[in-house]
Amino acid sequence: MRILITGGSGFVGQKLCAHLHGQGHEPLVVSRSPERARGVLPPGTEVRPAVQDFAEHQPEAVVNLAGDSIAEGRWTAAKKQRLLDSRLSTTHAVVELCRQLEQPPRVLVSASAMGYYGDQGDREVTEDTPPHQEFVHELCARWEAAAREAEAYGVRVALPRIGLVLDRDGGTLAKLLTPFRLGLGGPLGSGRQYMPWIHRTDLVRVILFLLERDDLAGPFNAAAPEPVTNAEFTRTLARHLNRPAILPAPAPVLRLVFGEMARVLLTGAKMRPQRLQEAGLTFTYPTLDEALSDILGRR
Ligand SMILES: NC(=O)c1ccc[n+]([C@@H]2O[C@H](COP(=O)([O-])OP(=O)(O)OC[C@H]3O[C@@H](n4cnc5c(N)ncnc54)[C@H](OP(=O)(O)O)[C@@H]3O)[C@@H](O)[C@H]2O)c1
């Protein structure tokens, strides 16, 4: 299958492209830096700078992952605009391609995030839980709404609301490993906030599941069935690394350093993958212990 992937050069996209290539599919990657992207993608991957550049390829499916990094840098007004614009402009370009093609893609799997729900304290969060109004909710809601415009052209749209993606060579875990190995890890704020997470291999399986299953559309919580609090995450990671993790990062310090972005670290949602499990998806790594054993046990 010819699968157009925006943000295919990123942490999730690289793993997805490698997997699709291995299965005999043809990933078509949109990247602002094609040369750099080719260096991290399977040999022979077609990479072009804009969605529109792939019109002649007539993609049969689209996976939309592109977006400026949410967890990096202070959320100045300019950064917030970049977070929104980078997602909306790419998604609008995907919808425009669907409009133009005589034979639009069958399916669009368009990334969203746990941030859709905003801060939910310790209540159980399924796809039906009403969101808490705040910037991350607005960002995800507008991103999802933009993707759903493809439905007007007969495209099935699935929206994985992704939890913290875990693997060794990227994302948040890679950033945590050095301080934790030095014994400098510790809970963030009270540590009571939930951190829904997912092994990167399971996220690739979720995306494939949503690409393949013609009966699945709308939002899907894409996180392991056992979310943990930040304190549990901290304890479990420290245990796997045989290090203490007793140095807490107090909330006021995080707010001072990260500004409004500190909310991403200090709040969360106990998000369960209800719709994916009802649809029959099983997770290879349902518990954090299993995920970290795999990730940290690899050489
Ligand atoms: N990783 C997580 O824990 C996590 C959790 C929840 C949701 N998500 C969402 O899932 C998606 C994929 O995550 P990821 O971890 O793979 O992200 P990533 O590594 O940051 O990759 C995203 C890709 O988007 C492209 N991009 C970055 N800034 C852009 C901009 N201003 N305009 C257009 N494209 C831009 C980049 O590709 P080029 O430089 O090649 O153009 C980059 O490779 C993201 O949208 C992210 O928000 C991720």
Whichever domain contains 6, its CATH number is 3.40.50.720
Residue 98 makes CB contacts below 8 A (sequence gap 6+) with 62, 104, 105, 108, 150, 153, 155
Q: Check pocket membership of 11 for ligand 1, CB cut-off 6 A.
A: yes
Q: Check pocket membership of 173 for ligand 1, CB cut-off 6 A.
A: no
Q: For residue 78, what are its two tokens?
A: 């300019």
Q: For residue 224, what are its two tokens?
A: 């392991």
Average pLDDT over residues 2-20: 98
Chain segment 29-85, per-residue pLDDT in tens: 999 999 999 999 999 999 999 999 999 999 999 999 999 999 888 899 999 999 999
pLDDT at 17: 98
Average pLDDT over residues 205-212: 98
- What are the two backbone dihedrals, phi and then psi, of residue 213, each rounded to the nearest 5 degrees? -85, 105
Q: Check pocket membership of 281 for ligand 1, CB cut-off 6 A.
A: no
Q: For residue 256, what are its two tokens?
A: 């001072």
> Taking every pair of C-alpha atoms in the chain, what is the biggest distance, in angstroms?
59
- What are the two backbone dihedrals, phi and then psi, of residue 6, each rounded to the nearest 5 degrees? -90, 145
Question: What total number of domains does the chain contain?
Answer: 1
pLDDT at 166: 97
Chain segment 221-260, per-residue pLDDT in tens: 999 999 999 999 999 999 999 999 888 999 998 888 888 8
Which residue's C-alpha comes closest to atom 28 of ligand 1? 68
| Strand, helix or coil for residue 110 | strand
User: Does residue 298 carry a pLDDT above 90?
Assistant: no
What average pLDDT is seen over the chain? 96
pTM value is 0.97
Q: Check pocket membership of 13 for ligand 1, CB cut-off 6 A.
A: yes
pLDDT at 173: 93
Q: Check pocket membership of 224 for ligand 1, CB cut-off 6 A.
A: no
Show the domain range for 32. 2-297
Distance CA 152, CA 172 (A): 36
Ligand 1 centroid vs 213 CA: distance in angstroms? 24
Which residue's C-alpha comes closest to atom 17 of ligand 1? 10
Q: Check pocket membership of 7 for ligand 1, CB cut-off 6 A.
A: yes
pLDDT at 254: 86
Share of the chain above pLDDT 90, in %: 90
Distance CA 47, CA 230 (A): 38
| Strand, helix or coil for residue 38 | helix
Chain segment 156-187, per-residue pLDDT in tens: 999 999 999 999 999 999 989 999 999 989 99
pLDDT at 30: 98
Q: Check pocket membership of 37 for ligand 1, CB cut-off 6 A.
A: yes
Chain segment 114-146, per-residue pLDDT in tens: 999 999 999 999 999 999 999 999 999 999 999
User: Does residue 299 carry a pLDDT above 70?
Assistant: no
